[in-house]
Chains A and B, each alone.
Chain A
Amino acid sequence: MHDDLLDQAKRLATLDKGKPKQASLRRAVSAAYYALFHYLVSQSCRAIIGAHRGQRGYRDALSRAYVHTTMSKACRSFSSCQLPTAVAKPLPGASGSAVVVSNEIKAIAATFHELQQKRCMADYDLAERFCRSEVLTVIEQVTDEIQKFDATPNTDERQFFLACLLAWKELANR
């Protein structure tokens, strides 16, 4: 799904010759965001349920539970290597609220948080103007970070990040 959404985003961003239509660029931003959203939800469900083909129904059922703003807040924390102290405390290498986060997780987390904001602008803020350079570079960035995240080893840190995308609201408020 995420590959098709990224293809769609690129087609929309390059659809108009000359000055692009805002509608095309806004839909492209939204498609790029949803590519990353569905990718991260899929990875998170695989981390929690398992990746076997026979488990797909369970993953699809669980995937309905993910909340955009909850994921975005979790990503903001991971991108800055700062988790609430109570969350960070038992983690290896934590010092206060500061935690060690790999570059791949930091990057994809920052991109998700940033793109969630841009998706809101694209869908609802008519005062915001998008330009083709912004949209094309975002699409390439999402494509690259998905490839890099796919290549990361299945570490405890990766599993924890992916689980936090679902459980962040409850964890962060304890």
Chain B
Amino acid sequence: MSVIDATRIALNLDMLALPASLRVKRLEVQEYTDTDGEPALRILAVIDDAVDVEHVSGGDVSNMKSAIRESLRRGGIRQFAYVFIAKQSELDDDDGEER
């Protein structure tokens, strides 16, 4: 089984206990090489557009990332997971225009 396939199984949203405040809609996974040259994973957590990110607690953000990394560890995946957060509207809005 490839790392990506194992990662997708480990990151099944139905099995992960993620903080409700973030309302994670989906997790996208990419294999990635970090700036140290180490194989890693890049995970994008797409959250609901209605989440007020200015009032999400740092503890919930930390708990979400910990839950993702713990599930990967339990799934035997050793690569470090760099976790990014975005709303779908922000991804749609990223038209490459320089500002």
Query: Taking beta carbons and an 8 Å cutoff, which residues of A are in contact with B?
Result: 14, 19-23, 69, 72-73, 76, 79-80, 103, 106-107, 110-111, 113-114, 117-118, 120, 129, 131-134, 136-145, 148
Contacts and interface: CB of A to CB of B under 8 A. Distances in A.
Interface residues of B, number: 32
A22 B99 contact: yes
**Binding site secondary structure of chain A:** helix
Contact of A129 (B53, B83, B94): B94
A142 B61 CA distance: 10
Contacts of B98: 22
Contact of A144 (B53, B61, B73, B99): B61
Interface of B: 34-36, 47, 51, 53-54, 56-59, 61-62, 65-66, 69, 73, 78, 80, 82-87, 90-91, 93-94, 96, 98-99
Contacts of B80: 76, 79-80, 113-114
A16 to B, nearest CB: 8
Residue among B53, B69, B94 with the highest chain A CB neighbour number at 10 A: B53
For the complex, would chain B's binding face be called helix, strand, loop or mixed by DSSP majority?
mixed
Contact of B94 (A79, A113, A131, A148): A131
B62 to A, nearest CB: 5
14 contacts: A19-B99, A23-B99, A73-B36, A76-B80, A107-B62, A110-B65, A131-B91, A134-B84, A137-B58, A139-B58, A141-B58, A141-B62, A144-B57, A145-B58
Nearest to A10: B54
B86 to A, nearest CB: 5
